[in-house]
Amino acid sequence: MTERAKSRLSLVQSAYVVARRDFRAILFSKAFLFFLLGPVIFGVITLGAASVGQKAAENRDPPVLAVAMAGADTSAVLEARQRLDPLIGLPEMVAVDPASDPATYLDDSARNIGALLTGSLSRPRLIGTQERIERWTGEVALVAGAARGAGASYPDVTLEPTATSGASRKSARAGTATAALTLLFLLTMLLAGMVMSNLVEEKANKIIEVLAAAIPMDAVFLGKLFAMLGVSFVGIAVWGGLGGALVATGAATLQDLPTPAVGWPLFAAMFLVYFAMAYLLIGSVFLTIGAMAPTVRDVQTLSMPATILQLAVFFLATYSTTDIGSPIELGAIAFPFSSPYAMISRAAQEAALWPHALAIAWQALWVVVFVRLGARLFKRRVMKSGGQGGADKRPWWRPRARAA
């Protein structure tokens, strides 16, 4: 092996050198202070998106009223509901076993039961969350009166509020999923754009050509991606510290927020992992665009399809939020760019962990593919090297062999 080959840095070492240089340059710049102000806007948009998502989940899968009365009373209630529903619109009702514990039905998120009707036609009892049973009091009284027969008075409904129900918990988790998905999307779009502008500036100053001549282009791409990822984690740490300070002072508490299915600690860790994967995926695309665009104006033109793609990905993942396990949701998981968003949504609503291990491995595979493809395109189209005159015929995924 020659002395020159021995002195060359490995791919990881080269990427680390580039990442350390970019990380320090960005972190100690004045623009980074303005960058830290972004979460103020993010917070407002996220809260609005969570509210819309929770309402959409409820409209898509409306809560059900379980009827747990004696056999004859249950049949009379269901028949009365069938007669009145075309006229005024009533909640869906299903018959359940009156001998079972009401908490068994209210805690079952899969059946989406919002409240339980028990007692008798003359003295009905409505069990569920305070908001839900107050909303359904009139409907229950109307149905019970109709079930008793013509001329019967409407009975007084006894309300027995509970802390939560399967329907309310399912709706709340859908809100958490939408909020996390929206925040993930906004952070990714903001940070990935900074990679592109940074590379265009260095390309105009001929710095990128110097780096490409000294180290592999794959290392340049990886270094810049992970440098911006490190900068973004610094920002997230600052914002998370401010949020932790609010929690510590009692101004806010996680108990007031819908708890995700996997729990808050694991959900927070998954959010960081999926943020990193989403950033690396779209960042590798933006990096390729920035490397191939000669001017900032060309960057804006070339990045438009990628931005539209990200918006389509966001809407796809949001649409699949309330339909876990459907073909659309599975397709969103399989598509690399929407996979991080769909999986963070699933983490908020499903407790199973093994799908996340598979999804993260799948996303990491595509990060490698996009980085190598972007570096290959840059060398062919911009550096005018590789693939010309038969100089380099190796596949794009195979690294260059070191000199013996």
Q: Tell me what pLDDT residue 15 has.
A: 86
Amino acid letter, 358: L
Residue pair 162/106 in contact by the 8 Å Cβ criterion: yes
**pLDDT for 238:** 81
**Nearest alpha-carbon partner for 208 in 150, 293, 126:** 293
Name the DSSP letter for residue 321.
G
Q: Predicted confidence band at 362 (pLDDT cuts at 50, 70, 90)?
A: very high
- Nearest CA among 188, 178, 109 for reference residue 321: 178
- With 0.75 as the threshold, say if the pTM is over it: no
- H helix or E strand, kind and range, residue 266: helix 264-292
Predicted local confidence at residue 308, as pLDDT: 83
Structural tokens at position 10: 């490995």
190: which 2 tokens? 């903001």
* Residue, of 388 and 185, whose pLDDT is higher: 185
What is the overall mean pLDDT for the chain? 78
φ, ψ for residue 124 (rounded to 5)? -70, 145
Rounded (5°) CA angle 263-236-177: 40
Q: Of the given ranges (91-105, 156-170, 335-349, 382-396), which has the lowest mean pLDDT?
A: 382-396
Closest Cα to residue 316, out of 285, 343, 338, 348? 338
Lowest mean pLDDT across 60-64, 102-106, 195-199: 195-199
Determine which helix (DSSP H) or strand (DSSP E) holds 44, and give its type and residue range: helix 38-60
> Of 348, 322, 342, whose CA–CA distance to 57 is shortest?
322
Reply yes or no on whether the pLDDT at 165 is more than 70: no
d(CA 348, CA 324): 11
Q: End-to-end CA distance of the chain, in Å?
A: 5
Interacting residues of 196 by C-beta distance below 8 A, sequence separation 6+: 286, 287, 289, 290, 299, 303
Phi, psi angles (nearest 5°) of residue 93: -125, 140
Please, which residues have CB within 8 angstroms of residue 79's CB and are 6 or more apart in sequence? 147
Output DSSP code: residue 382. T
pLDDT at residue 7, as a whole number: 47
How many whole angstroms separate alpha carbon 396 and alpha carbon 404?
Answer: 21
Tell me the helices (H) and strands (E) count for the chain, helix number first. 15, 5
Q: Which two tokens stand for residue 275?
A: 């943020």
Instruction: State which of 208-212, 278-282, 319-323, 399-403 shows the largest mean pLDDT.
Output: 278-282
